[in-house]
Structures are given as structure tokens and as C-alpha cells.
Amino acid sequence: MVRWDSHSRLPAVALIGLGLGLFSLAAAQPAAKSETENLVPPGGAAFDVPLHASEVCILSFPGERLAGSALSSSTDLEIKAWGNDGVAVRPSGKTAAATLALATVSGAIKVNVTLHVVPATQPALTLVRFKAASSEEAFEAKVAAEVARRTAPIEAELARVKQGIDVQIRDRADRLIAERLLKRTELLTLNAHERNDDNVIAHVERAIMLGDDGYVFFDIENRSSAAFRLARATVSFHDRPLTGPVRLLSSAIDKDPAVLGVVPAGMTAHGIVVVRGGDQARGASLELELADPTGIRTIRLTRGIVLK
């Protein structure tokens, strides 16, 4: 094993720039390169390391000193020392795989590393660390790595399927909206206003009939000195609930997931509530209730909301 003259830990690119005769770097590859850490049990272990042809990979043993020379199964593998605790290896491209035997002076780490060349389009390693560990720690790390390796394709497939499902859901929603627009689209002008005892005022001045459903727009004008937290917005007809999804646009956020939104003091927020089956209640007066979590500051609009 030939040792380099420098004992510094400068990256390979810097050493080349200084003219120390290290490995030349290949052109940038499209596949990602990475580093990893392996835990080695007391009896030693074998590891597999993917490399790109003619590119350098550092095998490092932090806190240890390597014993003697590395034993390689192939003469096509270039090996050079990397300080006292590591080696730099580079496949020449003439061999597809080679095995390297390494051990530390303390005897705490003994490894057989199988280096195999992968296409430039596949990920490869440029830094591999080996650390001594108990048998239990090494086993747990190996199991975790194997689980991650086996589940990675499944997770990728699930992500692909989910993306496809998201597209299908969006397409279905768009088709449903298009059908409702063709069936009926009508903008209605309303005139409903109400306030609670804290001077929080609700305004309902417009609605849209889309197919068989209605969409009632409301504004909450908070003239009180405390924020108004909207927990529920319900529309009913003769005590029969017709409420669908509710949304409130507000710059303030509440930590309580049960709160739809917050209207700060002195501010106005805009919201919308879907009236399902609004076509069935056409011509009737509807009631809109805007409630806070306690119910004490609830606003009830009982007049002026008629979907014609």
C-alpha cells in the first residue's frame, strides 16, 4: 500500500490542485453520490460499497489506525493511504468488482469490503466510515439499513400511486364542478346582518347557486377588543342542517384544530359555507349560526338569507 506524502486532510480536489499526484477526478455524474457509516461488531463484518468507475472513494476508520497493507482481490483496484486511519480506493474500470480486506491496529475493526462498479446513472458512495460497536448495535443498524433498502422501492411506488390518485381526485372534482356549472349557475344578492353582545358583526350579502347546492358568503367584522374564534358555521332550514364544508380566510392562526379561524380585534375576515341541497330549500328563509368554542359569543342570522 503506497502512502501519500501529505498527512493533511484536504479534500482530493485540493490535493490535485497542489500537484501531489493524487487520483484525477472524473467529470460530474448525473447520479447522486453520498456517504454512509457502518457499525462493525467485535468479530468483524462484510460490507458492499457501490462505486463509479475511475472515481475515488474514501474508506475511513475514525479514531483508529490501520494495520499493515490492505489486501485486495484485484490488481485493477488502486489503493492509497488516507492519513493513518483510512484508505482511498479507485477502480480502474477494468474490473466490475473487487474485495478489500482491512483491519485496525487495535483489532477492534476487521472488515471485508466488496467494491463494485455501478453505472453513472446509479447512486455511488464517495465516503464510507467504519466504527466499532457491540454486536447488538451492529445488528440493529444492519436491520435498519436492510429495512430501509427494501422499503425504499415500496415507498417510491406508494408516492407515485398517491400522486396518481391526487390527479384523479382533482379531475373528478373538476368534472363535478363543470356539471354543476352547466346545470345551474346563479349569483344571488342577500341582505342579512346581525351582531352579538360583544359588537362582533356578521354580514351575509351574496350567495351562489351551483347545481343543486348553494354557497353562502359571510363576513365577520370584529369591533370588539378581543379576537373572535370561529369554531362552527352551520346553516339550517326548519332545524334541519344543510351545512357542508366551511372555510374562513384569516391572517391569524389558532392552535386548536377545532377552530376554523380567528378574526383579530378591529379586523374583518371573509368566509364561505356550502349549503348542501340548497335547491330543496329554495324560497325559504335559512338560518346561519356562527359560533365560538364557548358558544357565548355566537352570532345567529335568522332573516335575509333566502336562496331563490
- The distance of Cα 258 from the centroid of its chain, to the nearest Å, equals 25
Task: Tell me which DSSP letter residue 266 carries.
Answer: T
Task: Give the pLDDT score at 93.
Answer: 62
Task: Give the pLDDT score at 70.
Answer: 65
In a domain, 20, yes or no: yes
Q: Do residues 140 and 197 both lie within one domain? A: no
In a domain, 308, yes or no: no
pLDDT digits (tens, 9 = 90+) for 237-266: 888 888 899 999 987 777 888 899 999 999
Rounded to whole angstroms, the Cα distance separating 305 from 206 reads 9
Q: Do residues 145 and 103 both lie within one domain? A: yes
- The distance of Cα 17 from the centroid of its chain, to the nearest Å, equals 39
Which pairs with CB-CB distance under 8 Å and at least 24 residues apart come from 5-13?
A: 7/83, 7/84, 9/83, 12/56, 12/88
Domain boundary among 132, 154, 176: 154
Q: Do residues 198 and 297 both lie within one domain? A: yes
CB 108 within 8 A of CB 131: no
Q: Do residues 19 and 131 both lie within one domain? A: yes
Q: Which of 60, 45, 27 is nearest to 126 (CA)?
A: 60
Q: Do residues 202 and 88 both lie within one domain? A: no
CA atoms within 13 A on the CB side of 164: 6
3-state SS, residue 139: helix
Rounded to whole angstroms, the Cα distance separating 60 from 80 reads 12
pLDDT digits (tens, 9 = 90+) for 252-304: 777 888 899 999 999 999 999 999 887 777 888 999 999 999 999 999 999 99
In a domain, 169, yes or no: no
Q: Do residues 277 and 194 both lie within one domain? A: yes
> Could you tell me the residue range of the domain that residue 109 belongs to?
12-154
pTM summary value: 0.53
In a domain, 171, yes or no: no
CB 164 within 8 A of CB 158: no
Q: Do residues 16 and 150 both lie within one domain? A: yes
Residue whose entry in the numeric block shows the C-alpha cell 506524502: 5
Rounded to whole angstroms, the Cα distance separating 50 from 164 reads 32
Q: Do residues 50 and 145 both lie within one domain? A: yes
In a domain, 166, yes or no: no
Taking only the tens of pLDDT, the chain with its 308 residues reads 433 443 444 343 333 233 333 333 333 444 555 888 888 988 888 898 998 888 899 999 998 888 876 667 567 778 888 888 888 988 876 667 788 888 998 888 999 998 888 888 888 999 999 998 887 887 787 787 778 778 878 888 888 888 889 889 999 989 988 998 898 899 999 999 999 999 999 999 999 999 889 999 999 999 999 999 999 999 998 888 888 999 999 877 778 888 999 999 999 999 999 998 877 778 889 999 999 999 999 999 999 999 88
Q: Do residues 227 and 106 both lie within one domain? A: no
In a domain, 162, yes or no: no
Residue 219 is which amino acid? D
Domain boundary among 97, 132, 154: 154
CATH number for the domain including 289? 2.60.40.10
Q: Do residues 71 and 194 both lie within one domain? A: no
CATH number for the domain including 124? 2.60.40
In a domain, 170, yes or no: no
Q: Do residues 149 and 29 both lie within one domain? A: yes
In a domain, 102, yes or no: yes
Q: Do residues 119 and 195 both lie within one domain? A: no
Q: How many domains does the chain have?
A: 2
Provide CB contacts within 8 A for 54, sequence distance 6+. 26, 90, 91, 92, 93
